[in-house]
Chain A
Amino acid sequence: DADVTQTPRNRITKTGKRIMLECSQTKGHDRMYWYRQDPGLGLQLIYYSFDVKDINKGEISDGYSVSRQAQAKFSLSLESAIPNQTALYFCATQGRSQETQYFGPGTRLLVL
């Protein structure tokens, strides 16, 4: 089983709809992250959480919100989706003393 899972893997929605992307991990890591990937731009950090009670904005948090329901779960919400939020979204986790992040398989989102 994968250590970091994301659901759904693909989603098509319409402008103005609220949607939620879920991330779960079995690695026991404290830190979790949400990124978006756009062609030619690499990954941009949306939000991150260092533990259940800690939520921080990243570079591009406008239009997004997150919820850390438990150590193993970190969800990303688009309150009112817009077309320029069409992108590939990645969740990542990191242990407190570890040097690197571990990524989920990604969620491909299309906003019409």
Chain B
Amino acid sequence: GEDVEQSLFLSVREGDSSVINCTYTDSSSTYLYWYKQEPGAGLQLLTYIFSNMDMKQDQRLTVLLNKKDKHLSLRIADTQTGDSAIYFCASSRNNNDMRFGAGTRLTVKP
């Protein structure tokens, strides 16, 4: 199976919370990342979490890590139309060998 898996699409209403989920297979992953890709642009790092943490919060973003289940999630509070983009989950082992999911396209409806 794929190293990093995530659902391809998510649609929410403006003002609601969005939760994007990701699973990974490499139990030796030391860093887990969330990147955002807007149309016509490269990937922009949103946040990352070290594998010995279970939660990280940064303004509207909350990352939850369940290391036992190898499950990562990104919660965006009060989702805005500007949050519409593709969100990539990625894992790496000691900063090397970064593996990306296929990306989740988030659509925010007014």
Contacts and interface: CB of A to CB of B under 8 A. Distances in A.
Contacts, number: 42
A106 B42 contact: yes
Is chain B's binding surface mostly helix, strand, loop or mixed?
Answer: strand
B88 interface: yes
B42 A40 contact: no
B43 interface: yes
A43 B40 CA distance: 15
A88 B50 CA distance: 29
A12 interface: no
Contacts of B4: 42
Question: Which range holds the interface residue count of chain A?
Answer: 10 to 19
Given A99-B31, A100-B33, A105-B40, 8 more contacts: A41-B102, A42-B100, A43-B43, A90-B42, A100-B45, A102-B45, A103-B43, A105-B41
Interface of B: 4, 8, 31, 33, 35, 40-45, 48, 50, 88, 95, 98, 100-103
